[in-house]
Structure 1
Amino acid sequence: MQSPLEIAFMHVAPSDEIKALVAEKVASLDGVYGGITSCHVYISAPHQSQRQGNLFEVTVEVRVPGSELVVHHHKKDVPEHEHLRVAVRDAFAAMDKELKRWKDQVKGEVKAHDGPLQGRVTEIHRDEDYGQIIATDQRLVYFHRNSVVDGSFDELRPRDPVELVVRSDESEIGPQASTVRRIGALEFDPTPKGSRR
């Protein structure tokens, strides 16, 4: 973590035991995702319940590149939250889930399939030496004649299945394939089921 952990106690006496517990839970979050830039934890007992007495509230704010994740955990009068350790545990369990969800989103909006990326040719412009592919991750990918291996550009037809490698640096025209190779069949067909005939 780039910035030191910050813990604020409101209407609660600061406790070394709770500070140590929070530090342990933050270290666990760091294990889930090592790119956390800062973490702020607010612990308060603002609200008296007639049924249960003081109920602790724990708010955890975690900053990650390009985003801030916040969990405000009070559990609406859950009796166990009379115990501060339980309230801290529950808040960090919720943040653990939130961080994993965020991490999955950052990895890619669409889960990667095993093996090389595949797709189908959607357009071929032989006179201009380029074409387009709809990939299994639903991206429309441009390719040039020179990216087709085995010199088979002139043999490609719309709907032909291909395997492709997309360049990591996106060009002005969007995703661009560095390598395209015709294959026998797709393991995953990107065509929406409703449009098949």
Structure 2
Amino acid sequence: MDFPLQIAFEGVKPSDELRVCVGDEVAQLGELADRIKLARVVLGRPQRRNHRADACRVHIQIEGLDGSDITITRDPAITGVEEDVHATIKDAFTSLRRRLEQLSERS
């Protein structure tokens, strides 16, 4: 990973376990990461309160080397899918990989 990774926690207790989970997902981006200048990941409480205790909103913002921005958000309050935080992180990064692959194919 040759770009800065910023991880923020909003209403979620910061933990090394979650930092490692996000770091592992970033590492799996492989050569797609060559297009990234900066990555910000925010882990926060879902917008509505009636969710599992371990539910989490994941927001990823990527600044590309070409000046493009990619934003991915997974929020159980919006999607209606009740997942634990690890599954939500994985789902968000799966969407990010697809988006990066689409951009890579276009260039």
Give the TM bin, normalised by the shorter chain: 0.7 to 0.9
1:78 is aligned, of 77, 81, 95, to 81
1:94-173 correspondence runs (5 A): 94-106=95-107
For residue 2 of structure 1, report the CA deviation from its aligned partner: 4.8
2:95 partner amino acid: A
TM-align CA RMSD: 1.7
Count matched residues: 102
Mapped to 2, the partners of 1:103 and 1:57 lie a distance apart of 27
Looking at CA atoms only, which structure, 1 or 2, has the larger radius of gyration? Answer: 1
| 3-state secondary structure, aligned to 2:36 | coil
TM-score scaled by structure 2?
0.84
Mapped to 2, the partners of 1:33 and 1:7 lie a distance apart of 17
Higher-strand-fraction structure: 1
Q: Structure 1 stretch 59-68 or stretch 25-34: which is displaced more?
A: 25-34
Could you tell me whether the CA contact under 8 Å between 1:43 and 1:57 is conserved in 2? yes
Determine whether 1:87 maps to 2:91.
Answer: no
For residue 33 of structure 1, report the CA deviation from its aligned partner: 3.8
Determine whether 1:4 maps to 2:4.
Answer: yes
For residue 62 of structure 1, report the CA deviation from its aligned partner: 1.2
Mapped to 2, the partners of 1:11 and 1:24 lie a distance apart of 22
Higher normalized contact order (CA 8 Å, seq sep 6+, divided by chain length)? 2
Mapped to 2, the partners of 1:95 and 1:31 lie a distance apart of 13
Could you tell me whether the CA contact under 8 Å between 1:10 and 1:45 is conserved in 2? yes
For residue 70 of structure 1, report the CA deviation from its aligned partner: 0.7
| Deviation digits for residues 150-176 of structure 1 (CA, Å, limit 9, x no counterpart) | xxxxxxxxxxxxxxxxxxxxxxxxxxx
Structure-1 residue corresponding to 2:43: 43
TM-score scaled by structure 1?
0.48
Mapped to 1, the partners of 2:94 and 2:104 lie a distance apart of 15
| Deviation digits for residues 40-79 of structure 1 (CA, Å, limit 9, x no counterpart) | 0011013312xx4343110111111220111011252212
Determine whether 1:20 maps to 2:20.
Answer: yes
Mapped to 1, the partners of 2:13 and 2:104 lie a distance apart of 35
- Identity over aligned residues, as a percent? 26
Structure 1 residues without counterparts, runs of 5 or longer = 107-197
Higher-helix-fraction structure: 2
Determine whether 1:53 maps to 2:52.
Answer: yes
For residue 21 of structure 1, report the CA deviation from its aligned partner: 1.1
Could you tell me whether the CA contact under 8 Å between 1:61 and 1:71 is conserved in 2? yes
